[in-house]
Structures are given as C-alpha cells and as structure tokens.
Amino acid sequence: MRGSTEPTGDRWFGVGSSTGPRAGQAGADAARAAQAGRRANLVVVFCSTLYDAAELLEGVCSVTPDDAVVVGSTSMGELVSDKHDWAAGPQPSVVVAALGGPGFAVRSTFVPRASADHRQAGIEAASVMDQVNAPNKVMLMILDGLLRERHKLVRGAYSVLGASVPIVGGCAADNLTYTLTQQFYGTGQAVDVLSDSVVAVGLGSSGPLGVGLGHGWHKHGQPMVVTGSNEGEVFLIDNQPALDVYLRCIGADKSLAEDAYKFREVAFNHPLGLSRGDGEDLRVIHSANPERGSVSCLADVPQGALVWTMRTNERSLIEAAVSSCQMALDGLGGAEPVGLLIFDCGARVVRLGRGNVSAEQGAIRSAVGAPFAGFYTYGEIARTRGSRGTHHLTVASLALA
Amino acid sequence: MNGPASPTSYHWSVHQLTEYLVQVSEPREQFAAIDAALEHAIETFDAELGVVMLDNELRASLGFGRQEVPQCFLGPLRDNEPVEVPDIGRVFVARGDLDKAATRGTGCDGYMLLGRLGREFSAEESQLLQGMALTLGLVLHNLSILQAERTRHRLVETLLDIQKAISARRPLNEVLDAITEGAWELLGRGPVALLLVDPASPELLRPHSLDRYPGFDDEAVALARGALAGEGANWEPSALRSRPLLAAQVVVSGEAAGCLIARPQGHAPGYRDQAELLNAFAQQVSLALNDARSVDAVRKASRDHITGLPNRAHFLQKLEQERLTSVEGNTDLTVLFIDLDRFKAVNDTLGHQVGDELLAEVSRRITTCIRPTDTAARLGGDEFAVALAHTDLESGRGVAHRIVRALANPFAVSGREVLIGASVGIAASAERHSDASALLGDADIAMYRAKRSGRGRCVVFEPYMQEEVADRLDLFTDLQRLATNGQLWLAYQPILSLASLGVEGVEALMRWSHPVRGLVPPSVFIPVAEETDLILELGAQAIERALADMASWHRHATGLRLNLNVSARQVVDQSLPEIVGAALAANHVPPELLTIEITESLLIEDPELARARLTRLKDIGVRLSIDDFGTGYSSLSYLRQYPVDQVKVDRSFIAELRDNATNDIALARSIIELCQRLRIETVAEGIETDEQLRLLKELGCDLGQGYLFAYPMPAHDWLTWQGAVSSRRGLSPPNLVSASS
C-alpha cells in the first residue's frame, strides 16, 4: 500500500488530455497538463485501448513525482473538461486527472485474480481505507470490466466499510471487444498494467465529498418476472424463453438474435430494469443465445426479480449526466468544488451516438463549473445510500471540494 | 455527506419475496442463510444497517464497518424509531420477527432489524420485512432439521465405518486417525485432537492425532488433564475466556486412557449437541483401544511377533484340531516342515534386524503359496511349518516345491539382495501319529533328510528315516564327547612337487576312531558336526593341533607347508581369522606356510559373504585353496573373483586320466591351464598310478597327493616317513608309501 501525507489544508484538482499519436508522449502531455507544475498525490489515467498502455504510463511517470499514486484503466472513451470538442473515440485518446495538496490523503492497493472470489476481493480492496484518517473519506474502485459478479465485490467491500464510507468508481472497458480490459496500479516510479484485478484508492479529504447518480431511463410496458436465471444469464421470463419475450417487448424480429453485432446495438437501447426500492437497477443486455433461448447481462439478474424493458432518448440521457453531477455537487453542502471524477456507462455512448458525446460533456461543463475527468465504463460503482453500489447505463460522479 | 432524495415508488409484490426466498434458500448452512437474508433485505429496502438476532445473540450485522454494533441499535426498538448511530447518522429502524409458533424453542427465535438513513419505513415495507423475517425463521428451522438429520446420518455412517475398521482389525493408528477425522467432520471442521496417556509415564499426555488441530497449545492440554481428572467429561467453560473447548474422556479397562478434545464451531446453543457427538467419538476411541489391547494380548500369546504367523504352540493346537478332524472325517492332512538354508549366515553377517526383515518376507512368500484355509507358522529360528488340510502327499509335495521355488528367488532386504533357500520335509497324517507333535516330528525328520541330500530339496517322510535320525543322534552325542576323550585325531598326507617329487607340504585330515563303530569316515561325522556349532569347536581344535605338529616338524624341515580343511560353517564364523592368527602366533609358524582349504560350494551359495571372509583370512597372510574343484557348479571364471592361491583338482577327474581318455585329459588340461593363466597353483588329488602322474606332469600340474605317494598317516609316523623319503630319494614313489592309516 502506498500513500501520501495526512490532509491539513489546501487541495487542488487538475485535468489534462491528449490525442497524440505516440502513447508515451500523449501520456506525458496529459499528465503534465493535469499537474501543471504542482506536486500530485494522486494521478488518475483513463485511456483508449488503441494506445500501448505500458508506454503511455511510462510517459505519465516521466512527469509525475515518484511517491504519487498512479491508477487508472482502459476505457471506451473519456470525459474531460479541458477540450470543448472532445468526442469519445475512435482516435487514441488519454485523459488524466491529478489531485494534490496537504488536504488530500491517498492510500492505494490492488487485488489480483479478483474473479477467483469476488466477495473476498472486495473485502481485501476495502482494507485500503484502514489507513485513511480524514474527516471525509471515499473509496475509489477501478475493476476489470469483464468481472461478472461485481455486485458481490461491492458487497464484500461494504461488509467491511459499512455505511459511513461511500464507494465510487467504474469498470475498465475495451471498446466493446469484451476481450481484455486493463487496470493501472503503481506510483510515479512505475505502474503495473493488470487485468482481472481490483485497484482501490482510499481518498481522505479535509473538505467535503459528494457522490451523484443518474441514468435517464424509463420503464416501458408491463412488469415481468424472471422465472429462470443463473447469474447474468436469463433463461425464462414469465415462464417463457427469455429471448422470445424480450424480442417481443422491444418489437424486434427473431432473426435479430442471429446477428450478434446487430442484436447488441439494438439491445443497448432496450436494457432491463430490475425493480428496486429506490427505482430501477438497470441491466445491459449484451448478447443472446438463440439455442438456449436466453439473454445475457453483464451483471446478475436474480430469479424472482420483477423486470421491465427500459427506454430513453438522447435528451434524457444528457440530462441524467448533468443531474448526476449536480447531485454530487449538492453533496458538497455549498462548498466550492475543485473537481469531479465521472464514470459514465459505455453503453450510453452507443445510445447517444459519438456525436452527442461532446454535447453531453458540454452540458456537464456548463453545469458544474469545475474541472472534470472520467471515462466511459463497463459498469459504474456508486454507493452512498443503501448498501448496493453497482450500476449500469448510469452516470456516477464524485465531486471534491 | 448529503445524498439525493430517494424515490418512493415501490413495486412490492410476492416477487420481491420470491427473489429473497431464492437467495435465502440456497445456502446449506444457517450462518450463510442469515448473511444472505440480511444482505438481501438491506438491498431491497435500500437500508444501510441491519442485524439478525437469534436467541438473544447477535448472529449477523451489516453496514457498521469496523465498529461494533452500538448498543443503541440492539435495544428494544419500535418501527420507525429514530436512532442516532455514531459515524453514520440518524437512522429509522424496522423490525421483523422470526419467532412464530413454528420456530419457537427451536433455536430460531429472533428478529431482523434494519436501519435506514433519512427515510422512515412505510407500512408496506414493514409488512414485507415481516414476511422476510418469517421466511428466514422458517428457512433456519428447516435447515436446523436438515442439519440435525444430516448430522445424524453422517454420524451413523461415520461410526459404521469406524466399527468396520475396528472389526477388520485395521491398524490401531489408522482407526484412531479415522475417529479423529470423523469427529472433525461432524463437529463442523473445527480443531479436534486425540491425546492418550503415555503407558510408560501415566502422568504424561501424548498427542496422538494432531493433524486436525492447528495451533495445538497448553490450554488444550490443561483441559484434557481436567477431563482426565474427572472434572467434567464435557465442556469446561471456566478455563476458557474466549472460545470454549470440549473434551470427552477415553476409558480403557475402566481407567482413564486419554481424551478427545475439540474447539466447537458455531454458537453456544449448539455446544451441547457437539459435546454429545464428541462423546460418541470418544467411546469409539475407547472401543478401539480396548479391542486393540485384547487382540494384542491374544496375538502375543499365539503369534510370532516378527512374522505375525502363529507360533509353535498355536500351530500345534491348530494342527491337532486338523488332525482330529481328518481322523474323524477320514480326510487327508499333510504337514510341511520348512527349514531355511543359510539363514544363520545372513543373520550373523548382516545383523538380527535384517534377519528379522528376511523372516517377515519369507512368511509373506510362504503365505502366498498356500490357500487361505491352510495354516502357516513360524516354529522358531529359521523353521516354518504349514498344515495343509484335505491335501494328500502328492499335492503337498506340489505345495512344498512351490515354496522352495518362491524362497529360492532373491530377497531385497535393507536395500540389498539376499539369497537363501529352503529344504522341506513332508509328512502325511497317519494312524501311528498319536498327536500333532508326532506328525510334525515326522515332517522334521524328512526335512533333515532333505537338508542332507542337498539344499533346496523336498523329501517325503519314510519310516526308515526315523532310524537314521536315531543313529545320527547317537553319533552326535558321541561326537560331543570325543573332543575330550582323544578319539579325534589328525592324519597327514604328503603333497609332493610333481616335477621334483620332493615333499612340499602336508594335508591335515580329521579322523575319528570310535570305540564301537571303528574308524568313522569324515564324510559321516563332519556333516553331523556341521549341523551344530560343534564343528566350530572341533575345527578350532584341529587348527591348534595341526599347527602345533607343524611347529615340531619345522625343527627338522623348515619350509614345510600345511594344508588344512575348514568347513563352510567355520568360514562363515567371524572368529576363524582370530583363531588361525592366534594358533600361528602361538606356534611361531609363518602364515604363508598355512593353506586353508575350502569347498567351492561356499563360493557358490553366498559369493559376497565368501569374498568378505576369504579377504579377511588373506589379510593375516595365509594362503587359500579350493578343495575338490570341479565337483560343484562354479565356472572356471569364478576363480578370478576370489583371492585364491591354489586349486585342488578333485580326485574324480584324476581317476579317469589315461592315455586314451582324451576327453578327461582335455578337461584336466583346461583346469590346469586356466589356473596357470590366473597364476593359481594346482594340486591333483587321488593320484594312484604312474600313468596319472606322468600325464599330470605333462599337463603342467604343480603338485599332487594320493596313494601313489603315501596314505594319510598319524603325526607320529610323519617324521619316520619323511626320513625314509629323504634317504630313498630317487626311488619310485610307490616304494615310499608308509600305509599307516
């Protein structure tokens, strides 16, 4: 575990970005801009899979103090406040957020082979908070986006942290290839590129912190009951093959399931919503299995759950992003924000279209009035109220004052 | 940190409970069901905090992080009563009770309490929570029934397995380990250990099975002592500050013999059940120990401890039963008496431990040659016996041959290969046998006959053998006496150079003048003496006598060499070099003038031992000669492996030597030429004719002895004979003969 000093006063937050063709140079440029000559405690790097991550991180380290914690992940696009025309993909791009000042305390750890025991990985990751002693605390988590049972991981972390520590973060992405996502963990001296891991940062601050959430999706049609499922694979809905029911609900032909790419494009626009006390818990459907008549989600869909198909439109999605950030800012209790970290669902990029991504970021920029950086994820993590912390098709945000 | 305003629209339905029930019903253990229920309920209501209480014990909590559940949250709370929880804030609570009629008194009484920040629970939510809590109560109740049933079933199965192991006479350690393992499984895989009183030091408790007790410590030993002292056969909470230990006493023959200890898993209400389980296993330990001790006692009384086979007494009992049965049923009964060849040599040279291992392996091989219904026994030493019921002589002979073949194969003992063998006597039960001893005695007699007729033989008893044995017994008795009464004496036969016909040396030969039997040939009395250690005594006397004679003759003829025969048993005996060395020194005879003659059979039977022993003899400077060469099975090339100086060509080769006997000449030539190449001196035995002498000279044989030169003569005639030879030098050898045997 690595860390910096206890918080006592000033805090700063900066962002930088680059779309330069050379990974090392792009990393160095973005990190230099984010730090702007200040001594960083924490450097967070989100980059496209088009870069060689190791080379990019060498560039980041070349301009970062040895004792600064460096974490991050690959993405399917980034969010950043310093470019007005920033659009996620398809070109290589990197975004860096840096924070520092004696008011921030940073500890970090990582858990390898998280898929071996998700809950235990969450418990181990949460140990990062043991050494964070500050009036305000948050645990930042970056997971491998291909971990299926991430809810168990967050449950594990919650069982250790309890209700007094919020959790926020996102799942690393690989631009919808679902083959390999990478997580970054290290310091300004060197950074490891990992997969199947959890990278955790214990962040303490002398100033307030706020966490926000929003998704912008609405229920459509009649409620249905999941009558057969195993983890994320749903076999039966209302005792009928789940795939048939789903295609009927969204008005699609059965042949759609035969083209995996087309099916995913359509399914991203019609997630499932699970009934929860505080609204709906969304599930992205990313594939279908015509032979088994099933649909598969990236997270668990418990048997017995009440579900709907969900709908949205571009305006609603952009409003949800703004609303998430606003909720995080509200959490600051009127304190001036120094910056935000944003974890926006990658499936929203598909639904919004690349063109609308800069519109979304423009709307956020107008609303928050503080630097922000983030990435489009394979899953969002935000636990403030209740005990659940995993989300999908959602925007999770962390505001720092 | 302030959160967003929470949505209030709920879709409560039976499906909410269904999803919950699926989650809660999945675990097979109560604690997991409780954790799943609490986690799920908290998520369902978007609550932050939750606890489950059972029988006034906190069984699960969530949302409190590293801090203990504050008392304010554990007290009697009404629904929606606001509670200020440190570090978390003001929460509203809702409670669902688990205890209804179905679960009351079953250890499933309790409640689930949830706390939510900032929002009260609606009536609908409280109702759902009540449903969830009741569901958990029923699930726990069912699990406890299932658990009890599973435990009972597993207990029965485990105890049955242990009983089977005890009755199958599995090794005690194996049984005790199985009991400890069973207790460990049934007691929830918590630490379990068995401690037994050290029989040698009853005040000491020795841990027996500790594999299932990681971190075994003094506290455990202290508790075990308490249990032994009768302070409580079960759990002893006073000694235990944090977690209790259970102990159950093990009793053997009414006395405390140890105890089984365990750290129970789970919660106090279950300790009583666990204590009962532990007692059940401790009783198994007692049973196993009692059984093992009684079995051990019986075994010790009737079994040979090295081989595990019945001993002589037990065998005779069994044989008598079989004999009576065969007499009544008019069925066949055959007995084999097996005596190992060369076992004593192995025992003497490689030690008793190797000998014991060898005996155990021999017993295994014998057992594999017989039917399960037959009885094999070790009678003592290297003697075994087998009783073959319903088996006639011919079949018995077949079994005997099988055993001989099995024991002729090399044994791997203590990392080395050992070759022995066996001679078997066979006797069938007959009317003349008054008891089992008589029957076994006949087989014993037949075995002696087998031994005498060459090792590795099987001989069926014939009545005449009994007389032979009696005769041999008489002979043996006489032999024992002759060492002191002068009946044993040495005869000397000269050995001459065939080239010069000069006397080179003399061979000492043992003679026995029996007052009644007359002159007993060595071929009769030596084997009798060799059957016991008597040969060693007679041999040692012969060595001392011959060297004393030599010393006296050296005053007249320095350089005269002495050839002395020693038996295989003498060679194997470790004291031979010392005896020879001492006799040489006492008589001032240079060691190089003494040639020890051994038979080639010794080389064949145990080459390694022979090499070791002969090397020791060579070390004191004496010369070695192979007697009767050519009569055994050794190949000529065998010679080069041993430190041999001389070979005595057996008289049977010499007897056939004639001018026209080309084959015999060729045979003699091959031996002599080989010896020449190996620089080994050759002596021709039994030269009786001039023709033989001439041929042997032509073949290059170095030395010779035989009636042509002289008969063996008493010591007092030697000087006379030698003087005569000297004075008649140049005369033909037959004229030199002084036949005074």
Whether A158 sits inside 8 A of B88 (CB atoms) is no
Taking the alpha carbons of B125, B119, B6, A119 in that order, is the dihedral positive or negative?
A: negative
Count the Cβ atoms, other than its own, within 10 Å of residue B734. 13
For residue range B415-444, list pLDDT tens digits in order.
888 889 999 999 999 888 989 999 999 999
Provide mean pLDDT across the span B639-664: 85
Provide mean pLDDT across the span B222-229: 72
For residue range B469-500, list pLDDT tens digits in order.
888 778 888 877 765 566 788 999 999 999 99
Q: Does B18 touch chain A (CB under 8 A)?
A: yes
* CA B651-B699-B702 angle, 5° bins: 70
For residue range B368-423, list pLDDT tens digits in order.
999 988 999 999 899 999 999 999 999 999 999 999 999 999 999 888 888 899 99
CA-to-CA distance for B398 and B392, rounded, in angstroms? 10
Q: Which are the contacts of A390, defined by CB distance < 8 A and separation ≥ 6?
A: A150, A151, A154, A299, A379, A380, A381
Q: Which are the contacts of B622, defined by CB distance < 8 A and separation ≥ 6?
A: B580, B584, B591, B592, B594, B595, B596
CA-to-CA distance for B735 and B501, rounded, in angstroms? 13
CA-to-CA distance for A367 and B22, rounded, in angstroms? 44
Helices (H) and strands (E) in chain A, counts: 9, 26
Q: Where residue B47 falls among pLDDT bands split at 50, 70, 90?
A: very high
Cα A142 to Cα A66, A149, A189, A345, B111: the distances in Å are 21, 14, 20, 14, 37
Q: Does B47 touch chain A (CB under 8 A)?
A: yes
Cα B320 to Cα B82, B122, B434, B446: the distances in Å are 94, 93, 10, 20
Q: Which of B164, B156, B157 is nearest to B291 (CA)?
A: B164
Secondary-structure breakdown of chain A: helix, strand, coil percentages, each rounded to the nearest 5 = 30, 35, 35
Q: Which are the contacts of A304, defined by CB distance < 8 A and separation ≥ 6?
A: A225, A226, A227, B15, B18, B19, B20, B21, B22
Residues of A in contact with B44 (CB under 8 A): 276-277
Tell me the three-class secondary structure of B428-454, residue by residue.
ECCCCCCCHHHHHHHHHHHHHHHHHCC
Digitized pLDDT (tens) for each residue of chain A, 401 residues in all: 333 333 335 899 999 999 999 999 999 999 999 999 999 999 999 999 999 999 999 999 999 999 999 999 999 999 999 887 776 667 899 999 999 999 999 999 999 999 999 999 999 999 999 989 999 999 999 999 999 889 899 999 999 999 999 999 999 999 888 899 999 999 999 999 999 999 999 999 999 999 999 999 998 888 888 888 988 899 999 999 999 999 999 999 999 999 998 998 899 889 999 877 666 788 889 899 999 999 998 788 888 788 999 999 999 999 999 999 999 999 999 999 999 999 999 988 888 887 888 899 999 999 999 999 999 999 999 998 888 899 989 999 999 99
B419 three-state secondary structure? coil
CA-to-CA distance for A145 and A379, rounded, in angstroms? 7
CA-to-CA distance for B621 and B615, rounded, in angstroms? 10
Whether B4 sits inside 8 A of A213 (CB atoms) is yes
Beta-bridge partner residues of A136: A205
Domain extents in chain A: 2-214+316-400, 218-310
Q: Terminus-to-terminus CA distance in chain A, angstroms?
A: 25
* CA B480-B483-B484 angle, 5° bins: 110
Largest CA distance in chain A: 62
Do the Cβ atoms of B20 and B135 come closer than 8 Å?
Answer: yes
Radius of gyration from C-alpha coordinates of chain A: 20
pLDDT at B5: 34
Whether A387 sits inside 8 A of B48 (CB atoms) is yes
Q: Does B608 touch chain A (CB under 8 A)?
A: no
Domain B169-301 carries which CATH code? 3.30.450.40
For residue range B81-102, list pLDDT tens digits in order.
899 998 889 999 999 988 665 5
CA-to-CA distance for B512 and B518, rounded, in angstroms? 8
User: Residue A332's closest chain B neighbor by CA?
Assistant: B1
Whether B2 sits inside 8 A of A330 (CB atoms) is yes
Domain B305-462 carries which CATH code? 3.30.70.270
Counting beta carbons within 10 angstroms of the beta carbon of residue B390, is it exposed (0 to 12), middle (13 to 18) or buried (19 or more)?
Answer: middle
DSSP string, A50-103: TS-HHHHHHHHHHTS-TTSEEEEEEESSEEESS-TT----SS--EEEEEEESTT
Q: Where residue B10 falls among pLDDT bands split at 50, 70, 90?
A: very low
CA-to-CA distance for A351 and A76, rounded, in angstroms? 13
User: Residue B36's closest chain A neighbor by CA?
Assistant: A155
For residue range A213-249, list pLDDT tens digits in order.
999 999 888 888 888 898 889 999 999 999 999 999 9
**Long-range contacts from B585-592, C-beta under 8 angstroms, 24+ separation:** B586/B544, B586/B547, B587/B547, B587/B548, B587/B550, B587/B551, B588/B551, B589/B547, B589/B550, B589/B551, B589/B554, B589/B562, B590/B621, B591/B620, B591/B621, B591/B622, B592/B621, B592/B622, B592/B623
A162, A275, A302 member nearest B63 (Cβ): A162
Q: Which of A217, A279, A230, A272 is nearest to A247 (CA)?
A: A272
Whether A304 sits inside 8 A of B20 (CB atoms) is yes
Beta-bridge partner residues of A287: A296
DSSP string, A219-250: EEEEEEEEEEEETTEEEEETTEEHHHHHHHHT
Beta-bridge partner residues of B424: B338, B458
What number of residues does chain B have?
741
Residues of A in contact with B18 (CB under 8 A): 225, 303-304
| pLDDT at residue B109 greater than cutoff 80 | no
Residues of B in contact with A228 (CB under 8 A): none
Cα B539 to Cα B23, B273, B505, B553, B573: the distances in Å are 93, 78, 20, 21, 11
Provide mean pLDDT across the span B281-297: 79
Do the Cβ atoms of A59 and A97 come closer than 8 Å?
Answer: no
Residues of A in contact with B67 (CB under 8 A): 162
Our CA dihedral for A395, A400, B2, B8, rounded to 10 degrees, sits at 0
Whether A331 sits inside 8 A of B1 (CB atoms) is yes
Domain extents in chain B: 14-147, 169-301, 305-462, 483-736
pLDDT at B140: 87
For residue range B246-277, list pLDDT tens digits in order.
888 888 877 788 888 888 776 655 677 778 88
B7, B23, B48 member nearest A302 (Cβ): B23
DSSP string, B649-690: E-HHHHHT--TT-HHHHHHHHHHHHHHHHTT-EEEE----SH
The strands making up B421-428's β-sheet, listed across from edge to edge, are B375-380, B383-389, B333-341, B421-428, B458-460
User: Residue B46's closest chain A neighbor by CA?
Assistant: A386
Domain formed by B483-736, architecture: Alpha-Beta Barrel (3.20)
| Residues B631-663 as b or e (16 or more Cβ within 10 Å = b) | ebebebebbeebebbbbbbbbebbbebeeeeee
ipTM over 0.90: no
Domain B14-147 carries which CATH code? 3.30.450.40
Cis, peptide link before residue A135, omega less than 30° from 0: no
User: Residue B62's closest chain A neighbor by CA?
Assistant: A159
Confirm whether B169-301 and B305-462 share one CATH topology.
Answer: no
Q: Which of B452, B10, B200, B48 is nearest to A385 (CA)?
A: B48
CA-to-CA distance for B344 and B303, rounded, in angstroms? 22
Q: Where residue B537 falls among pLDDT bands split at 50, 70, 90?
A: confident
For residue range B682-735, list pLDDT tens digits in order.
999 999 999 999 999 999 999 999 999 999 999 989 888 888 877 765 433 333
B289 three-state secondary structure? helix
B695 three-state secondary structure? helix
For residue range B555-576, list pLDDT tens digits in order.
777 789 999 999 888 888 888 9
Whether B48 sits inside 8 A of A211 (CB atoms) is no
Residues of B in contact with A302 (CB under 8 A): 19, 22-23
| pLDDT at residue B283 greater than cutoff 90 | no
pLDDT at B252: 82
Residue whose structure tokens are 């598909």: A350
Largest CA distance in chain B: 146
* CA B444-B448-B449 angle, 5° bins: 115
Q: Which are the contacts of B213, defined by CB distance < 8 A and separation ≥ 6?
A: B191, B192, B193, B207, B220, B261
